[in-house]
Amino acid sequence: MSPQPISTPQLDLDPRDIALTQRPLERATMLPPRAFVGADVLDWELDRIFRGWVCVGHLSSVAEPGAFVTRELGPDSVLVVGGENGRPRAFLNVCRHRGARVVSEPEGRVRKRLQCPYHAWSYGLDGGLVAAPHMDGVEAFDRSCNGLLEVRCAVAGGLVMIDLSGEAPDADEHVGELLLHLDRYRLASLERAAKISYRVEANWKGIAENYNECLHCPGVHPELNALSDYRSGDEVIGAGAWCGGSMTLREDATTMATRNGHTNGRPPIEGLSEHDARSVLYFAVFPNALVSLHPDYVMLHTLWPREPGRTDVVCEWFFEPATIAGDGFDPSDAVDFWDTVNRQDWHVCELAQKGVRTRGYPAGRYSAEEVDVHAFDLMVADRYMAALREASEVPA
């Protein structure tokens, strides 16, 4: 029996509200409050937005054969594992026997097989069925047809991407010209030195919006504002599903870290220009990756919606392998700095989430400085509007 088609949740938003967001910045209104609090809206986003290209994490997490990560997207669990050929593969994290989760840990490593804990069916790193106890006497059972169900997977600039729909444009097209910046910072060759996971009581879009502006920095982030003027830097534009820009470090700072922004002896990432050494670049890759490029390290946040008002956030820090291998390497100055800034961000995002739930609250207006917030919201609004138009064309 073939799998039954899955019906798409209905998107219950007023297209007139979405059209207000699609206006030019100086005339636009923010996404309607219901987009942040409606359970049906999140169901639709998980079914439509998060079934296209989504960033799972960094290549180094699955670079070795058998290294794996698992990610939950609504009802779907996806397992990404390093293959024998060095290329990561992605599969639905579901045993083909009785549907049990094959792997429960968020990350780890196996030797050569993935074994279901229920009835010990096991699979190779290519997803093929290796062992299925007690199935020898079953008629018309074809082992070659009972491997793990593969999910489309690609690596773009060191970011591991999955596409549950199997229909999204090429991953390089999705990341677009941001690849030029990711490659300049050698992201694919960096290695992880630290990871912190957070539970944030806010909608995933509110977290992304907050990341895309620093107007709140003087009042919310005194440590960050001491290292970079909140109105410094430039917008960066280019093809692809992303937005972002730069901020300029103050003269006495060499990176974003404690100890007044000094690198603690760490060299800059190889090949960066003098201008790069004075800047920090911030990019949001739609829908769930926030990439921060520093002179001596890269920070990656990935956003995982759980409820309309709750998002799990994974934050990771990546450095040059030679830097990590150096005597006395200690990333705590960068990690501690951003852990403080992250928690400050989560606090104001949670305040906004509480406020947007207030009955009678209308969507606000963008300031002239919120260019990237509007750019991110446009990526959301355009997808909303396409779905609403599609629904309106379906005969009753």
Domains and CATH numbers, the chain: 51-170 (2.102.10.10), 185-362 (3.90.380.10)
d(CA 333, CA 337): 6
Neighbours of 144 (CB within 10 A): 7
pLDDT tens track for 209-233: 999 999 999 999 999 999 999 989 8
Q: What share of the chain is helix, strand, coil (3-state, %, to 5)?
A: 30, 25, 45
Q: Do 198 and 258 meet the contact criterion of CB atoms below 8 Å apart?
A: no
Task: Give the model's pLDDT for residue 6.
Answer: 56
One-letter amino acid for residue 132 of the chain:
A
pLDDT tens track for 97-131: 999 999 999 999 999 999 999 999 999 999 999 99
Average pLDDT, the chain: 95
Which tokens go with 205? 């879009």
Q: Does 394 have pLDDT greater than 60?
A: no
Question: Could you tell me the pTM of the whole model?
Answer: 0.94
Q: For the residues 283-308, what does the mean pLDDT come to?
A: 98
Task: Give the model's pLDDT for residue 1.
Answer: 34
Q: Does 288 have pLDDT greater than 60?
A: yes
Beta strand residue intervals within 135-205, DSSP E = 150-156, 159-163, 191-200
C-alpha distance from residue 4 to each of 44, 146, 286, 351 (Å): 18, 17, 29, 41
Residue 396: pLDDT band (50, 70, 90) is very low
Task: Give the model's pLDDT for residue 233.
Answer: 85
301 against 136, higher pLDDT: 301
Task: Give the model's pLDDT for residue 134.
Answer: 92
C-alpha distance from residue 154 to each of 47, 56, 59, 170, 388 (Å): 20, 10, 10, 9, 30
Q: For the residues 157-167, what does the mean pLDDT come to?
A: 97
Q: For the residues 238-243, what does the mean pLDDT come to?
A: 98
Task: Give the model's pLDDT for residue 7.
Answer: 62
d(CA 118, CA 123): 13
Task: Give the model's pLDDT for residue 202.
Answer: 98
d(CA 40, CA 37): 9
Say what percent of the chain tops pLDDT 70.
97
Q: For the residues 134-145, what does the mean pLDDT come to?
A: 91
C-alpha distance from residue 360 to each of 34, 349, 356, 363 (Å): 11, 20, 9, 10
Q: Does 4 have pLDDT greater than 50?
A: no
Phi, psi (5° rounding) for residue 129?
-70, 125
pLDDT tens track for 16-29: 999 999 999 999 99
